[in-house]
């Protein structure tokens, strides 16, 4: 087991799913953690378990759909331990609505949480990492960031956009000891479908069958942690659904046909 004494990791979306599972893996290796989620109440059980596992933890709740406080949030996260070695922007929200039923308000909310928040956090932390001699930035995208998918117009858009920003970040700062890992999950058994926005902006409240049969968050976290440790540029996380990434790359027309037939929930 790796001993991460002295290493500081900030994880957004740390109260459930992939973020929670990653937090426990790092906690067991005695890292110092900054954990962000929507509310302090959601973070409490995760923080308690991480401390039981041997981590020092700083809870930092925040609603990422509010951009005005992001710089202050990043400042507090950095000051918690006077450094951040790994920033993992994992928080996100999905939807289950057609283009016709998706309001511009919903699209903006999805973009704010899934795209603008991680971009703003990365931009706020980057200068500090550079001054400290380097660091690692990871971000959760999705295979929905590789191709269009029914009932996900805003979600897919936000995940596509992440690739543009974080691939550019990789290209510009790799020679300055800034490592970037783009995490691309397929189906992982998290609460994202339960919390996905339905028509009217209400929680979908259902576990999609495909997602319910996906990887466990613990399996996903093991893959993600290994990819970050190896400074991989991108890591695909999932099972047979990941074949669609390669279908899109080599047979885009076939991918479009398959996407039309995929059961979206």
Question: pLDDT tens-digit profile of 74-118?
Answer: 999 999 999 999 999 999 999 999 999 999 999 999 999 999 999
The catalytic residue among 155, 163, 173, 246 is 155
168: Cβ contacts below 8 Å, ≥ 6 apart: none
pLDDT in tens, 184-226: 999 999 988 888 899 878 788 888 877 788 899 999 999 999 9
Environment class of 234 (CB within 10 Å of its CB; exposed 0-12, middle 13-18, buried 19+): middle
- Is-catalytic flag, 58? no
The reported pLDDT for the residue numbered 56 is: 97
How many Å from the N-terminal Cα to the C-terminal Cα in the chain?
38
The reported pLDDT for the residue numbered 3 is: 74
Residue 130 has pLDDT above 90, yes or no: yes
Listed as own residue / partner, the contacts of 1-5 with beta carbons closer than 8 Å and 24 or more positions apart are 1/28, 1/29, 2/29, 2/229, 3/29, 3/30, 4/29, 4/30, 4/31, 5/30, 5/31
Q: Kindly indicate whether the domain formed by 8-261 is annotated with CATH number 3.40.50.720.
A: yes
Asked if residue 91 lies in contact with residue 19, where contact means CB atoms within 8 angstroms, the answer is yes
* pLDDT-above-70 percentage for the chain: 98
């Amino acid at each position: 087991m790796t001993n991460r004494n002295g290493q500081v990791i900030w994880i957004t979306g740390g109260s459930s799913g992939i973020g929670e599972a990653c937090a426990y893996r790092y906690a067991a290796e005695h890292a110092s953690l900054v954990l962000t989620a929507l509310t302090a109440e959601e973070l409490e059980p995760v923080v308690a378990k991480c401390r039981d596992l041997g981590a020092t933890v700083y809870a930092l709740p925040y609603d990422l759909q509010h951009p005005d406080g992001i710089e202050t949030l990043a400042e507090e996260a950095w000051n918690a331990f006077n450094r951040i070695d790994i920033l993992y922007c994992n928080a996100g929200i999905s939807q289950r609505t057609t283009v016709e039923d998706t309001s511009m308000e919903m699209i903006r909310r999805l973009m704010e949480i899934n795209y603008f928040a991680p971009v703003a956090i990365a931009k706020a932390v980057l200068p500090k990492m550079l001054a400290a001699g380097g660091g690692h930035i990871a971000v959760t995208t999705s295979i929905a960031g590789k191709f269009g998918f029914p009932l996900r117009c805003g979600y897919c858009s936000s995940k596509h956009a992440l690739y543009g920003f974080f691939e550019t970040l990789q290209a510009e700062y790799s020679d300055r000891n800034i490592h970037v890992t783009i995490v691309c999950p397929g189906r992982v058994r998290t609460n994202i479908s339960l919390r996905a926005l339905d028509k009217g902006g209400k929680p979908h409240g259902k576990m999609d069958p495909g997602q319910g049969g996906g990887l466990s968050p613990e399996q996903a976290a093991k893959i993600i942690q290994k990819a970050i440790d190896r400074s991989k540029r991108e890591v695909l996380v999932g099972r047979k659904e990941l074949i669609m990434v390669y279908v899109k790359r080599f047979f885009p027309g076939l991918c479009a046909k398959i996407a039309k037939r995929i059961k979206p929930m």
